[in-house]
Structure 1
Amino acid sequence: MTKTVLCYGDSLTWGYDPVSLRRHAYEDRWPSVLQAALGAAAHVIPEGMNGRTTAFDDHLADCDRNGARVLPTILQTHAPLDLVIIMLGTNDMKSVVAGSAFAACQGIGRLVRLIRNHAWPFEFDGPDILIIAPPAICATGNVPFAASFPGGIEESAKLATLYRDLADELGCGFFDGNSVAKTTPVDGIHLDAENTRALGRGLESIVRMMLGL
């Protein structure tokens, strides 16, 4: 039976292109690359939104970016699920949102609990969970982005260690996005096409293992 994978993330999952300020080509986005790698064995659902946080409100947005508030509806929409991949936390580094890696880690914990305690329809079993530490913020000459993430370089560098420990504590899978991809200095936050493809390729092995493929 085909496995179903939900990729829950922000602009790195949506496929924001920092050069064109549009969206990467479909085939370049990491969920698409993962889908191509897994083939017919799995159905990969991309659920990325620009600016999404783990569990915090962004009052400057014209949509709901609070990942914890939106997640239960998305889980219900796509059930049954075999695996939920969470890659969030970068936007939590914004000073107007939370501003710290510790807060982002707490938010990831909240998302895991929401998945584990969700009232799945028709008594479906809950999915496994894979937590990804997003590639760390890097230095940039882009003034608006740099101003939005004061201290973000230092704080985002802490995410991998915090997320790894959290995954161990909660019995989730873990993958360090920094191991295969780097953010671009164009804006310090996003991935160019080469790096978003690399993320999709890098995830194939652990996703196959977690799905039993």
Structure 2
Amino acid sequence: MKTVLCYGDSLTWGTDAETGGRHAFEDRWPSVLAAALGPSVNVVAEGLGGRTTAYDDGLGDCDRNGARLLPTILHTHGPLDLVIIMLGTNDMKPMIHGTAIGARQGIKKLISLIRFHDWTRECEPPEILIVSPPSLCETANPLTGALYRGSIEESAMLASLYRDLADEMGCGFFDAGSVAKTTPIDGIHLDADNTRAIGRGLEPIVRMMLGL
């Protein structure tokens, strides 16, 4: 059986901006991907609201630094055949970093952590698929609008920066913004249709990378 780790933030966890809760299990993109791939692939969903690529968030009641947590998660779920990384949205907050190039550097750090992790002897480092999250959009929500003030243009740069990084580092790449759009309810999250679209959109490239 192949094992795929989906490492992300609230877009992977499945935050529903309309209700403030969580999308149904079957609507979350890792679940859609798992259903499409079938029982021969174990898809592990590791989503955490507020997770950054590699930066601290002092306001969280848990550790949101993706680089600090990743080695433990790799060891927990290994051996792995593929790691899908979809992070960067929370990096766009000015209080975190606020720039697309900062998110790009954070993703590069995560790639290094995967490649040089202390895998057990029988484990080869997994393939890596970098996914750029959909760009932020305009919203009338006063809280998220303030948290991400001035970040829409920066978020729109993630896809090109991540694509170039994937080419440089020999990783796969998928632009989630090519199939999904954020909701203006909060400018950040996805409705059920759009999170399902990411799962469907990822299926072909994941099959290719796993040799299925």
Per-residue deviation, 1:152: 1.1
Q: Provide the residue aligned with 2:30 in structure 1.
A: 31
Length, aligned pairs only: 212
Per-residue deviation, 1:59: 0.5
Q: Where does 1:54-73 land on structure 2 (aligned, <5 Å)?
A: 54-73=53-72
Q: Provide the residue aligned with 2:85 in structure 1.
A: 86
The normalised TM-score by structure 1 is 0.99
Q: Where does 1:114-153 land on structure 2 (aligned, <5 Å)?
A: 114-153=113-152
Q: CA separation in 2, counterparts of 1:71 and 1:152?
A: 26
Q: CA separation in 1, counterparts of 2:6 and 2:36?
A: 15
Per-residue deviation, 1:151: 1.4
Give the letter aligned to residue 157 of structure 2.
K
Per-residue deviation, 1:123: 3.4
Q: Provide the residue aligned with 1:100 in structure 2.
A: 99
The normalised TM-score by structure 2 is 0.99
Q: Provide the residue aligned with 1:201 in structure 2.
A: 200
Matched-pair identity in %: 69
Q: Provide the residue aligned with 1:187 in structure 2.
A: 186
Q: Residue 40 of structure 1: SS of its match in structure 2?
A: coil
Give the letter aligned to residue 8 of structure 1.
Y
Give the letter aligned to residue 7 of structure 1.
C
Q: Residue 204 of structure 2: SS of its match in structure 1?
A: helix
1:169 and 2:168 correspond: yes
Q: CA separation in 1, counterparts of 2:60 and 2:208?
A: 37
Q: CA separation in 2, counterparts of 1:164 and 1:4?
A: 24
Per-residue deviation, 1:150: 1.4
Q: CA separation in 2, counterparts of 1:150 and 1:101?
A: 14
Report Cα offsets for 1:27-75 as digits up to 9, x if no partner: 0000000000000120000000000000000001110000000000000
Q: Residue 121 of structure 1: SS of its match in structure 2?
A: coil
Give unmatched runs, 5+ long, in structure 1. Answer: none
Let me know the Cα RMSD of the aligned residues.
0.5
Report Cα offsets for 1:90-142 as digits up to 9, x if no partner: 00001110110000000000000000000002331010000000000000000
Give the letter aligned to residue 160 of structure 1.
A
Q: CA separation in 2, counterparts of 1:188 and 1:54?
A: 20
Report Cα offsets for 1:156-195 as digits up to 9, x if no partner: 0000000000000000000000110000000000000000
Q: CA separation in 2, counterparts of 1:21 and 1:29?
A: 15
